Structure 1
Amino acid sequence: MPRKPMKPCKHPGCPKLTEGYYCEEHEALHRGDRANAGRRGYNSKWRIARSRYLKAHPLCVRCKEENKLTKATVVDHIKPHRGDRVLFWNESNWQSLCKRCHDIKTMTEDRYKEYKY
């Protein structure tokens, strides 16, 4: 049976070919990288809850504040859950957003982890 072709290492600037994501040299550097969506909780149970929430709340909350009617396509966590399962499933922490508003919110508000002392 034929094997899959090798692909370039995903580490920036590395030309080595590998069967996985990273070559042996760079694999150790990327072990702590972010888990995939399924491991972070975005599985079939989430997709069902997301679909149900978007049917109940079909318009983007942020666009509605600007008197625009835009179809929501993303269920956003108002306060980032950062792995907290209780906060992840708390529907009072959800809001429906269009992709544009979600991307803006994520890059400005949710980008950096907040530390409280």
Structure 2
Amino acid sequence: MKARPWRRLYNTKRWHRMRTAQLRDEPLCRYCKALGRVTPATIADHIKPHKGDEDLFFDPENLQSLCKLCHDSAKQSQERTGKLPGCGSDGWPLDPNHHWSK
């Protein structure tokens, strides 16, 4: 695995305060909620990957709350493929860029 020098940002007080605020303000997993499930969120996830960009890393508008399962599966898949997998309880794709959503 490649070294990621920005990992140090996750050890800052500023990040810990942001993470705590994010999970307090949005305590449920955003992806599960879209599926009609109620799951406590445990991860403050960056919506747009920051790749070390500190402005993007510390932007509270770039955060969403996810459970570990969604973060480690659906979100990682989305970052690899560019598409959010799955559909909501209404049967429509979760990915707003899916051709059925247009």
Normalising by structure 1, we get a TM-score of 0.60
Question: Aligned residue for 1:53?
Answer: 22
Tell me whether 1:83 sits opposite 2:57 in the alignment: no
Q: How far apart are the structure 2 equivalents of 1:64 and 1:91?
A: 20
Q: Which has more radius of gyration?
A: 1
Question: Aligned residue for 2:5?
Answer: 35
Structure with greater contact order relative to length (CA < 8 Å, sep ≥ 6) = 2
Aligned length: 80
Q: Which amino acid aligns with 2:10?
A: Y
CA RMSD of aligned residues (A): 2.0
Q: Which runs of 5+ in 2 are unaligned?
A: 82-102
Question: Aligned residue for 1:65?
Answer: 34
Q: Which amino acid aligns with 1:61?
A: R
Give how far 1:110 is off.
2.3
Q: Secondary structure at the match of 1:109?
A: helix
Give how far 1:35 is off.
3.1
Runs of 4+, deviation exceeding 4 Å: none
Q: Which runs of 5+ in 1 are unaligned?
A: 1-29, 113-117
Normalising by structure 2, we get a TM-score of 0.68
% identical equivalent positions: 43
